[in-house]
Chains A and B, each alone.
Chain A
Amino acid sequence: MKFAVVRFPGSNCDQDAYHVLKDVVGVAVDYVWHEEKSVKGYDCIVLPGGFSYGDYLRTGAIARFSPIMDAVIAHAERGRFVMGICNGFQVLCEAHLLPGALVRNSRPKFSCKWVGCRIETTGTPWTQAARLGQVLRIPIAHGEGRYVADEATLDQLEAEDRVVLRYAGPGGTIDDQFNPNGSMRGIAGILNSGRNILGMMPHPERAAEKALGSADGKLLFDGMVRTLRAA
């Protein structure tokens, strides 16, 4: 089993994702440079947070055209796993691997804080070890994390059980006051229809060790590892 963490110029959570996978979860992991053309041999590709290519034009808009993305798309089309965190989620939306878009926060400022994320489905490789309705304590750190999509897409995501995480209060309450960026329907993370691609704005790699304030995020990586072990 092997993970890859893609490094775009401007990625800045690549080293954190690498650290968690290698030192905390304890699996094999490599960095993959954005100019590489293959992700052969990797089971799960992580697109990390940061400001790929400076996020000029639009967040994630340039990264999707980088050479590595063709390989990531092919990898995903074969049903293999891809996980996009924060900027990685933005890249996945720009690459149309996930529906919708991430736009400027409703309060138009960068926001870094701990939030509650309610598990909306356990029918994913990442959340299979979680409990439905469980609230994970995970930080966000973004200026453009407001998830938007047309009503039909949102309905479809819900109907197909593809909303993975929603922003929630400590008891699991879904309410505007717990929605840190104005995301539609409180959405913090979604799946593709093939259920092998996860995109999420919160940073599970920052919440995978108790010393950092929460180890809740580790559950998502553990779920992935368990899926791969079972395969």
Chain B
Amino acid sequence: MIHPDTYREMGLNDLEYQRIEGILGREPNLTEVGMFAVMWSEHCGYKYSRPVLALFKTYREAQETGALENAGIIPLDDKLGIVFKVESHNHPSAVEPFQGAATGVGGILRDIFTMGARPIANLNSLRFGPIEGVSRDATRNRYLFEHVVEGIAHYGNCVGVPTVGGEVVFNRCYNGNPLVNAMAVGVVELGKVATASAEGVGNPVLYVGSSTGKDGIHGATFASVELGPDSESKRPNVQMGDPFLEKLLIEATLEALATGEIVGIQDMGAAGLTCATSETATKGGSGIEIDIQKVPRREEKMSAYEIMLSESQERMLAIVRKGSDEKVGAIFRKWGLNAVVIGRVTNDGLVRIMNGSEMEAEIPARALTEECPTYHLDAAEPEYIARIQAFDPLSLHEPMSDEARAAAGQGEGFNLTYTECLAALLACPTIASKRWVTEQYDSMVQTQTLVGPLEGDAAVLRIRGSMKGIALKTDGNSRYCALDPFVGGQIAVAEAARNVACVGGRPAAVTDGLNFANPEKPTCFWQFKRCVEGIASATEAFGTPVVSGNVSFYNETPDCAIFPTPVIGMLGILEDANKRCGSAFREEGDVLMLLRADSDPTGGMGGSEYLATIHKVEAGPPPRIDLAGEHALHLCVVEAVSAGLLVSAHDCSDGGLSVCLAESCIPQGVGAVLMLRYSDFDDLPPSAILFGEAQSRVVVSMRTERQMKRLEEMAARHGVRAQWIGTVGGDNLRISLEGQNLVNVPVEQLANAHQNAIGRIMESHGS
């Protein structure tokens, strides 16, 4: 008899428990309840998000045809395909940042090579609370930041997959609830994609990889509740990773798959053996019987419950052609890994767990995977939305020019200059250079990285065996989503696509990491739904289907809930890997142009980093976005890069035009002279021109005026505005607006603010 407290503790409600009894026609035992609880958690079963995710066309179609694989595949050419997926590891990282982040990388890599794809790149998207200052929160945030980065570095570096890109954003809403989203990318021969299907009655079921321990039990359930004061006690729920074993597992798995003797294969991630057995059986329309006595274990005394729910890392389940288990097993053993036949495929549709001759559990596979209850939750617009959007972002006082301040002297009115605002923005941790982070990642191993971290708006990789290249980027502005989740969702996709276009990649497909608070609260569910609607509309407008993704709910503590935080992982295709573009200005005399398809009455000041950093305000309507214009801009930029017209391309995002220009000046230490006109910016105030985050804008530099003419023609053809704005050169960044000097500052000074800000914070305080 299972006590209600027991199943409730595992995350099941009374109705769900009754449903289990109904399915089995009897009372479940403890092992069975545990198996249902993990498979029916939001993390595995998507019981709340599934109805909303159906808004993604590809997801809906895949669901309908039963082709929902571990990760989506995008053809690169007629031989090779690209596989990629993002996954969250937020809760584990909140309590055990190093292992939480490390195993996040390990888990997503397994999703990739389980498909027969060789992992070629890692990216990530990280969110933390503010790291400046001596408060307890700041100290904790630095600790989390430092160890998450170290965990990612530890795992990715050792496993030999380069970490080529990512983003780190700091905001109060992530106090106590950091977000760690890891994305992995692989390349696979089309036609040799492995499936996670248990087919062929009598085929042996091979357990490979690491032994099973007591770590990570109920990890998936832990991911499906809010964090609270007792979260520390969940530390044992966090898995321990071993990138060395993962490296062996990658090589052994790819070698074993190449034999053609593996019928189906799946990694043991969330919900471990339970998930791997039930999902492969469901997919194969079969059943599976295993004997837990044969499962390699780290500890002598482990119950069936513990073995079935363990989330020990670096393990896989392979279904092998009858008679080939020795041949396949030998490959894994050559790499020093366990490879043990623990069961066989049956035809009764049941997952049967034996302990020698004793039966520990018997559940219809489909009950675990397909009959997870789906909830249509209530959505209600939070009352704060209308209030916060009503704020006029142009109503705040204007900074002053250097001249005005010199004239005014000390203590007169608002005393920050435009130059000081720019320096402050460049040094704010969200905008500051992430060199402190990216240097800890091996970004070059595998020698395919053509544009690495900080070198361009997105990473570019060549692909061995193809002329083509790929561009990769993760992006997502959660402040915009807090102000308007629909627009914020659209902008997340737009920015990621724009970044990929800037390096020369045609935006091709999306993976999304959807991080939200408690969906059982109608206001949070509304944010989720609106955000997904925004993402769906933008991906359809750009022709970039969502091919994989992950949902992480319950990202909240008793003190605060996170902003709705969609993370978009964008894949772009370069027709010729040699036709690519970085973001740095190069040579004196190069021409600067602004390509734009924006139309924003506030210049994108609402929700801007300028408002947040300088005025401590997070309000206003987010920047406006016109998806058709944005799409035209992408096409135009990609064509310009492919035609070899551009020396640099960099999009205007956080911090607006001035930050964009500074970021292009800093890498080579070269200045620029900008001459702007009010009429080109709807007569907005200078602060909005410099710092507004109006969307759909890219600053490009070119060698000659002849190339400028060609770009103008190209832009006109695409319906994109192209404006001459200045010239590269000198030691200073100088921005003037109709004769008024707004900014005039040595690039070296900007570089110091931008390059060393995070290192200074981390090293001055320690953690």
- Name A residues whose Cβ lies closer than 8 Å to a Cβ of B: 9-10, 12-13, 15-16, 19-20, 49-51, 53-56, 109-113, 139, 141, 143, 203, 205-206, 209, 211-212
Contact = CB atoms under 8 A, between A and B. Distances in A.
B444 A203 contact: yes
Contact of B336 (A9, A13, A109, A205): A9
B423 to A, nearest CB: 23
B422 to A, nearest CB: 27
Contact of B248 (A9, A49, A55): A9
Contacts of B442: 110, 112, 141
B578 A211 contact: yes
Nearest to A53: B244
A55 B243 CA distance: 11
Given A10-B247, A113-B439, A211 B450 contact: yes
B447 A206 contact: yes
A16 B244 contact: no
B481 to A, nearest CB: 32
Contacts of A139: 444
B585 interface: no
A189 to B, nearest CB: 18
B455 to A, nearest CB: 9
Q: Which 5 A-B pairs have the closest CB atoms?
A: A12-B160, A54-B244, A51-B158, A141-B442, A16-B447
The interface residues of chain A, by DSSP majority, are classed as: mixed
Contacts of B159: 12
Interface string B566-600: 00000000000110000000000000000000000
Interface string B138-155: 000000000000100110
B462 interface: yes
Contacts of A206: 444-445, 447
B247 A111 contact: no
A107 to B, nearest CB: 9
B244 A10 contact: yes
A109 B149 CA distance: 10
6 contacts: A9-B335, A51-B244, A109-B440, A110-B157, A112-B443, A112-B444
B449 interface: yes
Contacts of A212: 444, 447, 449-450
A110 B153 contact: yes
Interface residues of B, number: 31
B46 to A, nearest CB: 35
B764 to A, nearest CB: 14
B69 interface: no
B440 A111 contact: yes
A49 B247 CA distance: 14
B441 interface: yes
Contacts of A10: 158, 244, 247-248
B447 A112 contact: no
B639 interface: no
B553 to A, nearest CB: 33
A51 B450 CA distance: 24
Interface in B407-446: 438-446
Contacts of A13: 160, 445
Contacts of A16: 445-447
A169 to B, nearest CB: 15
A56 B450 CA distance: 32
Given A54-B158, A141-B445, A112 B440 contact: yes
Contacts of B371: none
Nearest to A20: B447
A76 B587 CA distance: 49
Interface of B: 150, 153-154, 157-160, 242-245, 247-248, 335-336, 438-447, 449-450, 462, 464, 577-578
Contacts of A15: 446
B376 to A, nearest CB: 47
A211 to B, nearest CB: 6
Contact of A211 (B158, B439, B441, B462): B462
B445 A12 contact: yes
A22 B547 CA distance: 36
Given A10-B247, A10-B248, A54-B158, A141 B444 contact: yes
Contacts of A203: 444
B158 A112 contact: no
A145 B438 CA distance: 18
A112 B150 CA distance: 13
A206 B442 CA distance: 12
Given A54-B158, A110-B153, A212-B450, A12 B444 contact: no
A20 B447 CA distance: 9
Given A20-B447, A110-B154, A211-B578, 10 more contacts: A13-B445, A16-B447, A51-B158, A110-B440, A110-B441, A110-B442, A112-B438, A112-B441, A143-B157, A212-B444
Nearest to A52: B244
Contacts of B464: 19
B160 A54 contact: no
Nearest to A17: B447
A205 B444 CA distance: 10
A14 to B, nearest CB: 9
Contacts of B439: 109-113
B726 to A, nearest CB: 28
A198 B244 CA distance: 26
Nearest to A205: B447
Nearest to B469: A211
B146 to A, nearest CB: 9
Contacts of A55: 158, 244
A19 B448 CA distance: 11
A27 B129 CA distance: 53
Contacts of A49: 445
B105 to A, nearest CB: 14
A165 B56 CA distance: 55
Interface centre among B244, B248, B443, by most chain A C-beta atoms within 10 angstroms, is B244
Nearest to A111: B439
Contacts of A12: 158-160, 247, 445
Nearest to B335: A9
A13 B244 CA distance: 14
A203 B442 CA distance: 12
Contacts of A20: 447
Q: Among the interface residues B158, B242, B443, B577, which one has the most CB atoms of the partner chain A within 10 A? A: B158
Contacts of B247: 9-10, 12, 51
A19 B577 CA distance: 18
Nearest to B158: A51
A15 B161 CA distance: 12
A15 B245 CA distance: 18
Most buried by B among A19, A51, A55: A51
B245 to A, nearest CB: 8
Contacts of A53: 244
B335 to A, nearest CB: 7
Nearest to B462: A211
Given A9-B336, A19-B464, A111-B439, A141 B157 contact: yes
A13 B440 CA distance: 17
A56 B243 CA distance: 12
Contacts of B158: 10, 12, 51, 54-55
Nearest to A49: B445
Nearest to B163: A112
Nearest to A14: B160
A110 B436 CA distance: 11
Nearest to A141: B442
Contacts of A9: 244, 247-248, 335-336
A20 B242 CA distance: 29
A146 B738 CA distance: 54
Contacts of B578: 211
